[in-house]
Amino acid sequence: MPTYSLDHDADYWQSPERFRSMFEQASTIGNKASLFAIGDPDDDDTPMAFILQMEPGFVITRHAHPCDRFETVVRGSLEVDGRTLHPGDVLMHAAHELYGPKTAGPNGCTTVEVFAKAVGAYERITEEPDGSRKTTNLIRNFQEGFAEQVEHFQAITDARKSEKT
C-alpha cells in the first residue's frame, strides 16, 4: 500500500483519474488539493479523504455536501463561525447541512476532510437568495461551483501585487 508524505513526496498532490480535471483547476483559486479513495475510486459509495492546502485569507463560501463529513485542521488556522480552529480541531456536518464560510488564517491552512461517500467530494450544495438549494457537480462545472472563490482569490492576488509595488 502506498504511503505519501505531505512535505517530501511530489506525488502527494494527486487524485483519482475521474477527479483529475477538478483538482487541476484547484490551483486557479490558489490551492493545492489531493483526494485519496478509501476503496474503489470509481464507486460513489466509497469514502474519500480530501486534503486541501489554502492560501492565507482564502474563503470557502457557505455550502453543504450530499453526505456526512468530518474535517480536521492539520496546519495553520481556520476561521469558522466566529471561532479560530487550529491543528487537531474538528468540524463535523451531516449530509445537506450548510456550513461556512471558512477563512484560512494568516499563515494559510491545510485540512483533511473525510467524506462518507465519494459524491461528497464533487457535489457542492449552495443556498440561493430565495432559500432554494442548488447542487453543482464540480467535475463537470468547477468554475460555476467556485465562482465566488475565483473572484475572491483574484482580489487577494491583486492586493498582494499592489503591496509589493
pLDDT score of 140:
78
pLDDT score of 153:
53
Domain-located, residue 26: yes
Q: What is the CATH number of the domain that holds 47?
A: 2.60.120.10
Domain-located, residue 3: no
pLDDT score of 117:
97
pLDDT score of 142:
61
Domain-located, residue 14: yes
Supply the pTM of this predicted model.
0.80
pLDDT score of 9:
77
pLDDT score of 158:
63
Domain-located, residue 4: no
- Domain containing 77 equals 10-164
Domain-located, residue 128: yes
pLDDT score of 147:
54
Domain-located, residue 105: yes
Question: Based on the structure, what is the number of domains in the chain?
Answer: 1
Q: Quote the CA–CA distance of 129 and 131 in Å, as a whole number.
A: 5
Q: Which residues of the chain have pLDDT under 70?
A: 1, 26-30, 142-165
Domain-located, residue 99: yes
In terms of Cβ atoms closer than 10 Å to its own Cβ (0-12, 13-18, 19+), residue 111 is buried
